Amino acid sequence: MSLFAETAFSSGLVTLEVLEGHIALVTLNRPLARNAINAEMANAIEAIVSRTEADHNVWVVVLTGTGPDVFCAGADLKEVAAGRATSLFTSNGFAGFVDADRRKPWIAAVNGKALAGGCEIALACDLVIAAENASFGLPEVSRGVLAAAGGLFRLPRALPRNIAIEMAITGDSIDAARGIELGLVNRMVPHQMLVEEALTLASRITRNAPIAVRESLHIIRQVPDLDTDALRELTRRCRDRVAISEDYQEGPRAFVEKRPPRWTGC
């Protein structure tokens, strides 16, 4: 896989690069500020979400941060202290991301500390690959504020309830190894292998039919919010959307012809 096929977007503080194999790489690029989110970054991430959703060539997105020890420290507290906290939110919620209506899988490649809003960004992704030095925490209570970007309901979905409560009301973090044990982290790798491992996982996903992947993910995301009857109905609707796709015909045909499928996403 060619790592940098095309720079599709760059605000200076956030970049989007479309790679070979239907994968996009998004990088938070404000290392001197611990990749903390300011208004420019929030607007850039919102634009990137829209662009990747609309780009037929992008099937999976990897999100990472620049720097050796911090994925994202959350909100830029200088902006908050100056009374500009609302500028860190867009119609997609905090960082232009956490409440976004996304149909494609996002993989968080957590290169260091994911704290406060940074942890909430990782929790809003679908899969997490962590460097060995990564950690996750919601320290908002230590600053007299609330983890209001989804962390307080996504964390207990990702972790056992009592562990999530302890993290939320002590402000303490867990490291990547503990995240593996508890199921928050899919894979842990040395820092230098992080992006490669995330891209490998993304490539594994793109071996599959993109419409079937998106519809499967759409159902799984709804599991905490819907009862069984509603999930059955949702599954029927998603199945019907898959069944009218060209890829629905291509999969069985490729199996019969003993060849790899040629997915089109149509």
Q: 57 is written with which tokens? A: 């060539």
Is residue 140 part of the annotated active site? The answer reads: yes
Q: Which of 120, 132, 196, 250 is catalytic?
A: 120
CA atoms of 261 and 1, how far apart (whole Å): 19
CA atoms of 134 and 174, how far apart (whole Å): 9
Is residue 46 part of the annotated active site? The answer reads: no
Counts of helices then strands in the chain (DSSP H, E) = 10, 13
CA atoms of 142 and 254, how far apart (whole Å): 56
Which residue blocks in the chain are alpha helix, DSSP H?
Answer: 39-54, 77-81, 117-124, 151-158, 161-170, 176-182, 194-205, 210-222, 228-243, 246-256
Give, for 131, the enclosing helix (H) or strand (E): strand 127-131
Q: Which of 17, 46, 79, 140 is catalytic?
A: 140
CB 165 within 8 A of CB 222: no
Catalytic center residues: 120, 140
